[in-house]
Amino acid sequence: MGRPVTLFTGQWADLPLDTMLQKAKSFGYDGVELACWGDHFEVPKADQAYCDAKRAKLKAAGLQCHAISTHLVGQAVCDNIDPRHKQILPDYIYGDGEPEGVRQRAAAELIETAKAAKRFGVSVVNGFTGSSIWHLVYSFPPNLPGQIEAGYKDFAKRFGPIFDEYKNLGIKYALEVHPTEIAFDISSARRALEAVDYHPAFGFNYDPSHFGYQGVDYVKFIYEFKDRIFHVHMKDVAWDLGHDAGVFGGHVDFHKPERYWDFKSVGRGNINFEKIIRALNDISYGGPLSVEWEDGGMDREHGATESCAYVKAKDFPPSKIIFDAQFAENSK
């Protein structure tokens, strides 16, 4: 039997949870990864009774849940806060928009999210970190000595206490390595781990779609961080499409023909999921394969259904024998 195939509900948070669960089941999914926005998983309400009621809804729908996700609030912990954040953050986090206050409230919410996860019965919280140095990614004017290091120190200062609380609660924080985060490729992921002295509560939500168009070896990432892959997103991307707007996007919206890259329904992009499954087998990853569905050119219900079937068809269990070993056994 393969790994459970789940659906991340972040792109479906406009729908009430009851409706979303019915749809996820009808699409063929084994479970859901609940987003901490909309009414899917509301951290301020998540006392034991709330968590028990969510579990009862999942059970009634015949669905599993192995992780919750706090990408939006997590983004604000290390970011340089500006009015853009108001559109993604709850009012009680954004408040008056004073940057340090927003960052502090977001950090406190991440700790509350870990407590809620424990009550809910999951051991992984997926999310973002934000970054105080993302704007320095292209070094011109040349970055000053120590500027990048200061960004990683800021990350360690802000997330160190959060990770300590996660460790105490037995919860893992899985950063989705992604542009605008403190880690966005293999090199920056190494540096993030070093910054927090390889904190045991800190690892990654592996998502190949954010690596492929950058030219990052998304299979190598699995082997490099084999003990830090806490959760996996199945998400596809195509690149070498249009040639007016390059890797940086050219300030062109998604799903425009001039973009160099764009997200696609799983199986319709350039990501080699066969290699990913084999690598996950090699590192003995047994957690869920969670479809994060995004494709601006396709009906989402059609796309979520075909993505579920695609992932289930691609997944397979690892071999339990060494090839040809049976011949040596039979010759005894």
Structure token pair of residue 196 = 């927090």
147-169 vs 186-195: helix axis angle to the nearest 10?
A: 70
Query: At residue 132, what are phi and psi to the nearest 5 degrees?
Result: -80, -5
Q: How many CB atoms lie within 10 A of CB 141?
A: 6
- What are the backbone dihedrals phi and psi of residue 203, each rounded to the nearest 5 degrees, phi first? -155, -150
Looking at every residue in the chain, the average pLDDT score rounds to: 96
Res 321: pLDDT: 73
Question: pLDDT tens digits for 1-16?
Answer: 589 999 999 999 999 9
pLDDT of residue 276: 98
10-residue averages of pLDDT along the chain (332 residues): 92 97 98 98 98 98 98 98 98 98 98 98 98 97 98 98 98 98 98 98 98 98 98 98 95 96 98 98 97 97 98 93 60 55
Q: Give residues with Cβ within 8 angstroms of 265, minimum separation 6.
A: 236, 293, 295, 298, 303, 306, 307
Do residues 188 and 182 lie in contact, with contact meaning Cβ atoms separated by under 8 Å?
A: yes
- Looking at residue 2, its pLDDT comes to 80
Concatenated DSSP letters of 164-211? HHHHHHT-EEEEE--TTSS--SHHHHHHHHHHTTS-TTEEEEE-THHH
Domain 5-330 has CATH 3.20.20.150: yes
Residues 6+ apart with CB under 8 A from 208: 218, 221, 233, 235, 237, 271, 276
Q: What is the pLDDT of residue 224?
A: 98
Secondary structure E strands in the chain: 5-8, 31-35, 67-69, 124-127, 172-176, 202-206, 229-234, 236-239, 261-264, 289-291
The pLDDT of residue 319: 85
